[in-house]
Amino acid sequence: MFRRTLIVFKMVYLIRGSALFLRKIYLMEVRKKNKGLYWLLFFISTAALALAIYTHWPWLTLLLPFVTTFFVLAMDII
């Protein structure tokens, strides 16, 4: 009796757990991503970085987080 109850409990847990997992996967696939906007922002920040290098701007490193962040978002790495 105890073993049968344990097996039923495990089956219910697996069904509920997998339903939650499948729901998460479904919601992740439906989400719309603005990759075009991220590519545009990446190219703008890259142009600003190139201009900062050319003009020897003292705070050049302030542009690096923008370039790398928008590149990662455009490539859909995170």
Question: Same domain, yes or no, for 3 and 26?
Answer: yes
Distance CA 63, CA 36 (A): 20
The answer, yes or no, to whether residue 65 has pLDDT greater than 90, is yes
pTM above 0.75, yes or no: no
What average pLDDT score do residues 42-49 get?
97
Please give the residue range of the domain that contains residue 18: 1-31
- Select, from the ranges 18-22, 25-29, 37-41, the one with the highest average predicted confidence (pLDDT): 37-41
- Residue 72 shares a structural domain with residue 40: yes
Residues 71 and 42 in one domain: yes
Overall number of domains in the chain: 2
C-alpha 2/C-alpha 55 separation (Å) is: 77
Residues 38 and 21 in one domain: no
Whether 49 and 64 share a structural domain: yes
